[in-house]
Chains A and B, each alone.
Chain A
Amino acid sequence: AQTVTQSQPEMSVQEAETVTLSCTYDTSENNYYLFWYKQPPSRQMILVIRQEAYKQQNATENRFSVNFQKAAKSFSLKISDSQLGDTAMYFCAFLEYSGAGSYQLTFGKGTKLSVIP
């Protein structure tokens, strides 16, 4: 079974600064998909960014970018110009084909990010 590890339970960052959240995963597959989700205190999970493993180029969405290191099985999220609204739990997630038409989506335990004014 695949595992997703987020080694930073909590982090904080000053408003307007940059912060990087870490994620590592374990798989023997070559084709898979990685995601970062954000869960604000209202608790609805929102997609932040998505990366296909077959793409070498790192995904970017406005202030959010990833550093995808396939050989190292590492997928970190960088948030630039942090805003108060970025305060949330951030979950790294891994999607791979598990056979018979099924896809398995596995989450890490999350990193609680606090943006300090």
Chain B
Amino acid sequence: DTGVSQNPRHKITKRGQNVTFRCDPISEHNRLYWYRQTLGQGPEFLTYFQNEAQLEKSRLLSDRFSAERPKGSFSTLEIQRTEQGDSAMYLCASSSTGPRTAFFGQGTRLTVV
């Protein structure tokens, strides 16, 4: 499978716990996006990497959220001290250099109880 891979697919956590999600982009893609999507809504941009550099970060991304892409390959998104409002689908997408089409993974569904 050469598509974008996200793990885990589902995560249930208690409020106040930390969670980490992983995204493996398509191997030759140097751009990587994270989005959050709540039920019935469009994806909301969270952050963007080009190689290992985090070039953009949404104001939606509070200081409880952090993302890394240490070697310009896979990326992780960590949420600290989770809140019920963090419950959503977290989507990862990757694209190659330039104004290329972004390809999405299947997402990680987070439920905070």
Contacts and interface: CB of A to CB of B under 8 A. Distances in A.
Interface string B33-49: 10100001111110010
B95 to A, nearest CB: 8
Contact of A95 (B43, B50, B99): B99
B55 A105 contact: no
Contact of A107 (B42, B56, B103): B42
A56 B107 CA distance: 35
A116 interface: no
Contacts of B93: 45, 105
A48 B109 CA distance: 23
Interface residues of B, number: 24
B91 A45 contact: yes
A47 interface: yes
Given A109-B41, A109-B42, A110-B42, A104 B104 contact: no
Interface of A: 4, 6, 32-33, 35, 37, 42-47, 50, 52, 91, 95, 97-98, 100-110, 112
Interface of B: 31, 33, 35, 40-45, 48, 50, 55-56, 89, 91, 93, 99, 101-107
- Across the A-B interface, give the 4 residue pairs with the lowest CB-CB distance, nearest first: A45-B104, A107-B42, A102-B55, A109-B42
